[in-house]
């Protein structure tokens, strides 16, 4: 079985001003790959980077966990809990999670308050061994405009070319 590895990048417009601490916190509320990588601020100029040098299945269609599947050793059974219902014992017995893709409008609504001027862009490229190559980008501007793109091509997949704007 092959895995898709790639890279996630961060860019901003020349006139971009933003609250880097708040933006990192906002971005890290979501999963941008399936290995648990996160965003971090590199310098005072506001350069952000993804802290995994080789993210597995990177994406600009981030996901959030809505519930966790836990395992109870006493009863030998599984049960599901929402994050706000989790106890210390539940956190120690996580078996799996249920994740959903964030709606684009929700993501833009979370990112926009972090911006003072200009736009930011997150992009990625990845491939899975001679099966497909993929590129995606997400650009969000202070004025609420958003461009969201996904392109996938290769012999092991159905071609995809999606471009959304808000």
| DSSP conformation class of 86 | -
Report pLDDT for 74: 83
pLDDT tens profile 68-99: 899 888 888 888 988 888 888 888 888 888 88
Report pLDDT for 2: 58
| Distance between CA atoms of residues 110 and 44, nearest Å | 22
Picking from 17, 40, 42, 38, the residue whose alpha carbon sits closest to that of residue 141 is 17
Sign, CA torsion 57/58/62/67: positive
Report pLDDT for 1: 45
Picking from 24, 25, 29, 30, the residue whose alpha carbon sits closest to that of residue 10 is 24
Q: What values do phi and psi take at 24, rounded to 5?
A: -60, -45
Q: What percent of the chain has pLDDT over 90?
A: 63
């Amino acid at each position: 079985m092959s895995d898709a590895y790639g890279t996630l990048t961060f860019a901003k417009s020349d006139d971009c001003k933003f609250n880097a601490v708040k933006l990192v916190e906002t971005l890290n509320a979501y999963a941008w790959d399936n290995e648990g990588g996160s965003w971090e601020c590199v310098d005072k100029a506001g350069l952000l980077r993804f802290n995994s040098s080789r993210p597995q299945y990177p994406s600009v269609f981030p996901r959030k966990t809505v519930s966790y599947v836990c395992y109870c050793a006493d009863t030998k059974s599984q049960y599901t809990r929402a994050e706000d219902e989790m106890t210390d014992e539940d956190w120690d017995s996580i078996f799996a999670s249920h994740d959903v893709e964030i709606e684009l409008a929700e993501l833009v609504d979370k990112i926009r308050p972090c911006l003072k001027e200009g736009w930011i862009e997150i992009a990625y490229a990845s491939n899975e061994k001679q099966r497909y190559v993929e590129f995606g980008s997400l650009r969000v501007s202070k004025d609420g405009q958003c461009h969201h793109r996904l392109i996938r091509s290769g012999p092991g997949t159905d071609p995809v070319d999606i471009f959304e704007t808000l």
